[in-house]
Each structure stands twice: as structure tokens, then as C-alpha cells.
Amino acid sequence: TSVKSRFAKSLINCHKGNSTEDILYHLDLGTKTHNLPAMFGDIKFVCVGGSPNRMRAFAQFMHRELGLAGDGEDVADICAGSDRYAMYRAGPVLSISHGMGIPSISIMLHELIKLLHHAKCRDVTIIRIGTSGGLGIKAGSVVITDTAVDSSFQPRFEQVVLGDVVVRSTELDKDLAEELLACSREIPDFPTLIGHTMCTYDFYEGQGRLDGALCSFSSEKKLEYLRRAYDAGVRNIEMESTAFAALCGLCGLKAAVVCVTLLDRLEGDQIRASHEVLWEYQQRPQRLIAALIRKRLGLG
């Protein structure tokens, strides 16, 4: 089966020509209402993450890291007209929130990829910076995903299209993952590793938690599943990576997933760290991505 995208080699969605208006509804942007090439044509790095506040903090952080004029504290939300997603920019870096879970990130990515196409962006690197539950690794470790796998540990993303299940590959850019790992060696404050990331449709039962509203399996079954995941190479669990990898891959975008782990799931289900500790953890992927961007831009 072949899929055409606006951003892949053909660069054009098979149904929508360039002449008609395109409304990016959930971003509150459009080709008639906004000059997308002027607003975004020079974007080279797109960073996406679940929370609007975190993505705002990331844009402010990148503003400082890139040595841009002003303190960057008053960054404006480019999607202020929509309360679904938040978008900020700092120089050539775009920072966008995607909410929680595959449906939410999918909607954002469709519109973001069309935005990059309309804006005529070239050589864009896209990175998801997120949180996750770790497997057999110290809380606070950062995992760079080599392969995003589903809850059966397979490198695939299943999407229902016109009532049929279509299976898409979840391959990520190997060179980018290695480049990120090389950058991590210059940040000794926390452990960074490469591993498989398991993507689930739920935070509770879907991730083998026993602290949700339902109680449908034993703690022995839970640990058996998590150990099987570990043995299959899974080092962290989150809720967007397979859809992100599949969509970016089909559209020819070089993509990476970098998530900090908030706990070790072999040790428990509840996230008990303090807000201060969790906030510092969430800065770790940001620091790694800042190092990559600075290096790419020749800023040392």
C-alpha cells in the first residue's frame, strides 16, 4: 500500500492542490489568513512535547541558549486563537505542545506537517521531548528511542483507515539518535541511554498499572509483562512515540524521541517525586536538545 504525503518526495497531498485555501483548524492558522512562509520558512528544528507550559519554558530556554536579543520571557503563543495546542518560536526553533496520547499528537502532527509544507521549510529535524515511565533504569535517566514499539513490543503503528487496520513502520532516524547520544556525553549530570520505547493507548491498564480505577490483573502478571518488555529491549513507556515515528517517517522528516523517566516501573506505579524534582527531570531532554541545536548551529 502506498501513502502519499504533502511532505514526502512527492511533496504534495494527492487531493489538495496548492491553489485552494488550507485551514489548520486546531492551530488556528491558515494559508489565506497567515503568511506561513514569512512566519515559518526559516524553521530548522521542531520540538514537540505534551504540556503547553513545558513547551513555553522550552522556547524561553532556547531563546537564552541561542543568545537571542531580549530575555525571551514574553514569548507569544502563535496558536493563541486555539486552546487545543500552544506554539512558540525561538530563532529557528519551533516549540509546540501535543497533549496526551496518540489521537491528540496525530491531529497536531497532520497540521504541523502541512504548515511546514506551506511554509516551504527545508531540512527540518523534529524531536519529541517528553516524560515516560522507565523500565529497569534509574528515575531521571533520559532515553533516546532507537525503535518505538507497540504494547506487543512490535515496531509498528496500527491505524484504522476506512474501517481497515493499516500497519505502518515506526522507524526513527538512526544517525540522529547517535548524534544525540554523542551530545549526551557532554552532559554528565544525568544518565542517557538508547533503547526501545513502548507506546501505549493508556496510562493505567495499558501500561500495566495497578493504581488505576480498575483492578483487572495481579501484580505477578504485571511484573511478568514489564519484565518481558524489558527483555524485548524496552527501556521506557509513553503514549505518543509510535504515531509520531510513523507520521514523521511517511512524510520524510528526520525524527527523534527523547524522554526522561519519572520512575522505574519495576519498582512501582505511582509518581512520588516532588514537583521540584519532576520539573528538573523535565529539563533534562531540553538540555540535551539544546546541546544538539547549538552544535548544529556552530554555537559550540
Helical ranges in 69-168 per DSSP H: 102-118
Residue 151 sits in the site that holds ligand URA (CB under 6 A): no
Cell numbers at residue 178, please?
547517535
Pairing of strands 164-169, 156-161: antiparallel
Of 12-20, 109-117, 157-165, 234-242: span binding ligand URA (CB under 6 A): 234-242
Contact of residue 111 among ligand URA, ligand R2B, none (CB under 5-8 Å per partner type): none
- Provide the minimum distance between the beta carbon of 130 and ligand R2B in the complex, in angstroms, as a whole number: 5
Single residue of 36, 78, 237, 288 touching ligand URA by CB under 6 A:
237
Build a one-symbol-per-residue string for 35-54: x at contacts with ligand R2B by CB under 6 A, - elsewhere: ---------------x----
Which whole-number Å values give the CA distances from 179 to 65, 143, 214, 289, 296, in the listed order?
A: 19, 13, 42, 10, 10
* Separation between Cα atoms, residue 281 and residue 275, nearest integer Å: 10
- Provide the minimum distance between the beta carbon of 77 and ligand URA in the complex, in angstroms, as a whole number: 24
Residue 133 sits in the site that holds ligand URA (CB under 6 A): yes
Nearer residue to ligand URA within complex by CB, 131 or 242: 131
Single residue of 106, 132, 151, 242 touching ligand URA by CB under 6 A:
132
Residue 97 sits in the site that holds ligand R2B (CB under 6 A): no
8 A C-beta contact, residue 204 and residue 212: yes
Pairing of strands 125-134, 45-49: parallel
Residue 239 sits in the site that holds ligand URA (CB under 6 A): yes
Length of the chain: 300
Single residue of 125, 132, 242, 261 touching ligand R2B by CB under 6 A:
132
Question: Which residues inside 166-225 make contact with ligand R2B, applying CB under 6 A?
Answer: 203
DSSP string computed for 6-60: SSSTT-S-SS--SSS--EEGGGTEETTTS-HHHHHTT--EEEEES-HHHHHHHHH
Nearer residue to ligand URA within complex by CB, 91 or 208: 208
- Provide the minimum distance between the beta carbon of 210 and ligand URA in the complex, in angstroms, as a whole number: 13
Of 38-46, 114-122, 215-223, 238-246: span binding ligand R2B (CB under 6 A): 238-246
8 A C-beta contact, residue 148 and residue 278: no
* Separation between Cα atoms, residue 22 and residue 37, nearest integer Å: 14
Query: Could you list the residues that contact ligand URA (CB under 6 A)?
Result: 131-133, 203, 207, 237-239, 262
